[in-house]
Structure 1
Amino acid sequence: MALCSSSASSPTASALYQQTEHTHNIHIAFVDYDGGAIGASVRAAYESLKGNNFPTLVDAAPDAFPVPADLRSAVCDTRYWGGLYVSANASSRLEDALGGGPPALAYDPSDVMTLIWNEARYSTVADAAVLANMQTLVEAARVAYSRTDGTGRLERITSPEAFTVLASPWKLRQDDLQPTSQGSRAIYNTLVIILILIQEFFYLGAINGLYANLKIYARVHPSRVMVIRFLLSAAYCLVGSVCVTGMIWAFRAGWDVGALQFGQSWMVLWLFAHLNFQVIDVFTIWLPVPYVPMALISWVIMNVTSILLPFELSPAFYRLGYLFPRTRSTRPSSTSGPAAATRTCATPSPFSSPGGSSAAPLSALGVFRRSHYAMLAEEAQAKQFSERVTTALALERERDAKERRQQQQQRNEKGAEDDGEAASTTGAGTMTSASGSGVVGSSPGADDDDEQRLSRIITREAREEQRLQRNLSRNCHFGPAFGVSVANDDSSDTDGRN
């Protein structure tokens, strides 16, 4: 088991391996509404920082985003991880402030560059890959601006206010669409997913135990079983997902989310939980029993791997995560406050992934498969019981016929005696016949022969039953089932299914 767990967890380790070297896949839109020295300084600083360990700065024309609100919408729609823009006329305001006087006193360094980003989108990754790197870029741009003498008036600086402006010409202003700084954010795309999968596994074991104890598959038509099983699993997943969502909300630590986001997260987790129930059900019905534990562990690990990091920071191979019903990729829309209103698309949702969309029909077919083999097992048991009754009756009839033949033979032998001795002989014969009859009925040798024959027949039938059960279990099994004590009255069985 330790070897199995270690092998299954290797995809997670490999997905995290050298993730910083894939930081260049994080795209940040840069819009220079100013068109002056400050924008040139940002571009020069980016050229010195550009590499695999730094986000890619996409230089977009102002016409693509006429106003900052358009850039904000692009970040909300996850077209970019962030948007950095230079305010209009920022270079001229800085130039005037470096001249000293009232412009220097009125100068606002935070009204120069603004970073738009969404911390709710993989918050632990965005903090380092987006915010920290953009702060580094802004500081490098300040140095580049000082070295290139962007305004051409540095030699004229004389007032203390102007020197203050030169020391800190700008500060990065943040437009964080959904601040997500609480410590519990680390479990949203790790422990939450594992809890949901564990819920579905134990529920599947409980419902399989009930179905096996009550012989539902052999008594109820498969179409009804499929509908009832679907509704029961949907109701259970609905309750389980609200518990998981409640756990997140209980430790949100001032997170600015409300009832709308709670309901959206609840529904997303509900769909995810129900799809995973069907996937686990597919594993347990279509895979051989020895491979089920390995498949379940691998499914859990691959699900966590697919949402632990964004695809941009993982090797290209892990794009296969699109096959899994991922939830983290849809959750930013339900936890991004105002950003959700302008968001129009997202990465794979639970039903859009091939792995999730194929689970429902395979699970439905699994119900018919279970019902088929359950009926075969019931017919085999009925046939074996009928054969046992027939064998027992045949043995009893054979024993009675043997006793009658022996009694008839004794009566024929006694009929040949003399008439003179008829009275006494008849009396003795009667006693002898009774005595002989008792011997035949309770002869140790005859009893031993019958017991041996019956034992051989029972042994042969038991072996045949074991062989049949092995064949049935090899072809079909009903998945993990936990023992559930439920009264099962076989007298209520009917010849056909309802």
Structure 2
Amino acid sequence: MTWRYNKSTENRIRWGQHSGIGFKFLKAVAKNFILLQVLFLCLFAYVFGALYLQTTHTHNINIALLDYDGGAIGSAIKAAYESLGGDGFPTLQEVSPSEFPQPSDLLSAVCSTRYWAGLYVSSGASDRLENALGGGSPALVYNRSDIITLIWNQARYSTVVDGAVFSNMQTLSNTARIIYSTADRTGALQNFTDTEVLSVFANPWILSSVNIQPTTQGSRAIYNTLVIILILIQDFFYLGTINGIYANLKIYARIHPLRIITMRFLNSLVYCMVGSLCVAGMIWAFRSGWNVDGDQWALTWITLWLFAHLNFQVLDVFTIWLPVPYVPMALISWVVLNVTSILLPFELSPAFYRVGYMFPAHEVYETLLNIWSSGCNPHLQYSVPILFAWEIVALVLSVLGVFRRSHYATIAEEQQAKQFDDRLKVAEEFQRGEDAKLQTPIGSAAQKDQVAIDADKETSLENGATRQRLAAIINKEEREEAQIRRTLSRTCNFGPSFNMPFVGDDTDSDDTRSLK
């Protein structure tokens, strides 16, 4: 295939002649190899640490137990909890009926996230069950669903509460039913001939569920994972596009910083608005019977808009104040830290991971849960201020970064113009020297002929020497220019930039100068 790319093998360093460049190559490869391996090792450890021994932290899930009955059913539930309780089972906290006189009071406590769930035994449940076991009309009208009731909010980490709360409470109810049915009731059963009575005895109750916000759609699994990740990546790619356009058009050296700040802010604001609109639209398009309304959609859109915009500003801060090689590392670290903060409720992770309260992904998810469950996750008193704090701090640093970039972009332009003038001056001086040699006074005609002969002999040698001297001067200027560029790049960078479509090759034309 070399015949198609014949230049690919020309003017190459031979084997054994590249010790200098080979050492630099291996040094750079080794440094990046170690940095990336250590970074991803730490990130994997951080993520897996958050999920480590998740089930053994289930006891941190607190569930209120309220016995309005005070009879045999409540005793059976307590006995079942004694047999099931442990690190892998939620903690039942028995509360007094005087604290929650009505089931609606318990529902309010669950709604306020004081408890993950509430389990209560209805008043008179044991008496109704005993009457049904006695046969007759009480057995016919007996309602199994009005004995034990579970109040919970499935919208709150739905994939977690399905198992940690609802499934465990089902197990508790079934165990309590077995304990109740296997109690010493031979005297009461010896005359049972009614099939309805036997049915009541075999299945005395069914756990009823009061689900504040049923959340069963399949897309719920990615609300706290891929949705957040894609928003962050969406912001990063557009930021790279904007940086590429600014670099191609040399905006920082041509436009006043205040105008740049205004345009970047409005541009990012509109972009994040449209992006969050699409995300909220997709959530609603695939909600699959989820009981949410238009007002909740609008609040979801606004919340995601704020989250997307503050992350755009944060990523811009990374590109301004971090060296270019570390920007991708900062991006992946930011994504992992944010997503880890919402993979699980903090009750199921080691206490160290409560540091996730500071990350915007956790606060936006807390806000969204409050919206989706109609106020039954009331943590706005800290989630919204934290989100706005990130927005304001990142915006201030981004504004300072525009002045910083404009400052060093102007220095770079001035230095480039100075280098061009220096090169032109060197070339002119060199040419004047050559012209002076040709204008040396010549005497007689014989001398002129001799000079012409000597000139013919020395032409080829002088041309070669001239080219070498001029090349040496140009190489010196290029080395100085490269050193200045390296110094400026260490001082300030314009962030990762992508050469995207619709940015033509004539970006440095006179049309762009009209932007001044």
Matched residues in 1 for 2:255 and 2:185: separation?
82
The CA deviation at 1:335 is 1.9
User: For residues 365 and 155 of structure 1, do their structure 2 counterparts lie closer, same or farther at Cα, with a shift above 3 Å needed?
Assistant: farther
Q: One-letter code of the match for 1:344?
A: P
Counterpart residue number, 2:475: 459
CA-to-partner distance for each residue in 1:287-321, whole Å, 9 max, x for gaps?
22222222222222222211111111111121121
Counterpart residue number, 1:54: 89
Give the stretch that moved more between structures: 349-358 or 258-267: 349-358
Matched residues in 1 for 2:390 and 2:50: separation?
20
Matched residues in 2 for 1:279 and 1:465: separation?
32
Matched residues in 1 for 2:334 and 2:186: separation?
59
Residue 332 (str. 1) matches residue 362 (str. 2): no
Matched residues in 2 for 1:316 and 1:249: separation?
34
Matched residues in 1 for 2:187 and 2:312: separation?
68
CA-to-partner distance for each residue in 1:210-258, whole Å, 9 max, x for gaps?
0101111111222322222122112111111222222222322222222
Query: How many pairs align?
Result: 473
Q: Would the aligned equivalents of 2:113 and 2:378 in 1 still touch at CA under 8 Å?
A: no
Matched residues in 2 for 1:55 and 1:235: separation?
45
SS at match of 1:30: strand
Counterpart residue number, 2:176: 141
- Trace 1:303-322 onto structure 2 (pairs within 5 A): 303-322=338-357
Question: 70, 92, 95: which one pairs with 1:35?
Answer: 70
SS at match of 1:31: strand
Counterpart residue number, 1:209: 244
CA-to-partner distance for each residue in 1:33-79, whole Å, 9 max, x for gaps?
22333222222221221110000112122232232222222222222
Q: Would the aligned equivalents of 1:350 and 1:356 in 2 still touch at CA under 8 Å?
A: no
Matched residues in 2 for 1:151 and 1:260: separation?
58
Question: 491, 496, 499: which one pairs with 1:480?
Answer: 496
Q: One-letter code of the match for 2:154?
A: E
SS at match of 1:329: helix
SS at match of 1:211: helix
Q: Would the aligned equivalents of 2:369 and 2:377 in 1 still touch at CA under 8 Å?
A: no
The CA deviation at 1:152 is 9.6
Give the stretch that moved more between structures: 7-16 or 378-387: 7-16
Question: 249, 254, 272: which one pairs with 1:219?
Answer: 254
Percent of aligned pairs with the same amino acid: 56
User: For residues 349 and 357 of structure 1, do their structure 2 counterparts lie closer, same or farther at Cα, with a shift above 3 Å needed?
Assistant: farther
Cα RMSD of the aligned pairs, angstroms, is 3.2
Matched residues in 1 for 2:208 and 2:380: separation?
27
User: For residues 121 and 6 of structure 1, do their structure 2 counterparts lie closer, same or farther at Cα, with a shift above 3 Å needed?
Assistant: same
CA-to-partner distance for each residue in 1:134-191, whole Å, 9 max, x for gaps?
1111122223333556999667766443332222222111111121112222122222
User: For residues 34 and 213 of structure 1, do their structure 2 counterparts lie closer, same or farther at Cα, with a shift above 3 Å needed?
Assistant: same
Q: TM-score, normalised by structure 1?
A: 0.85
Q: Would the aligned equivalents of 1:351 and 1:357 in 2 still touch at CA under 8 Å?
A: no
The CA deviation at 1:329 is 2.3
Q: Would the aligned equivalents of 1:182 and 1:253 in 2 still touch at CA under 8 Å?
A: yes
Q: One-letter code of the match for 1:306?
A: S
Residue 105 (str. 1) matches residue 135 (str. 2): no
Q: One-letter code of the match for 1:281?
A: D
The CA deviation at 1:492 is 6.2
Q: TM-score, normalised by structure 2?
A: 0.82
Give the stretch that moved more between structures: 78-87 or 351-360: 351-360
Counterpart residue number, 2:383: 349
Q: One-letter code of the match for 2:494?
A: F
SS at match of 2:499: coil
Residue 380 (str. 1) matches residue 415 (str. 2): yes
Matched residues in 2 for 1:329 and 1:344: separation?
8
Question: 487, 503, 510: which one pairs with 1:471?
Answer: 487
Give the stretch that moved more between structures: 208-217 or 269-278: 269-278
- Specify the structure having the higher radius of gyration (Cα): 1
Counterpart residue number, 2:22: none
| Structure 1: 5+ residue stretches without partners | 415-427
The CA deviation at 1:130 is 0.6
Matched residues in 2 for 1:395 and 1:168: separation?
106
Q: Would the aligned equivalents of 1:329 and 1:347 in 2 still touch at CA under 8 Å?
A: no
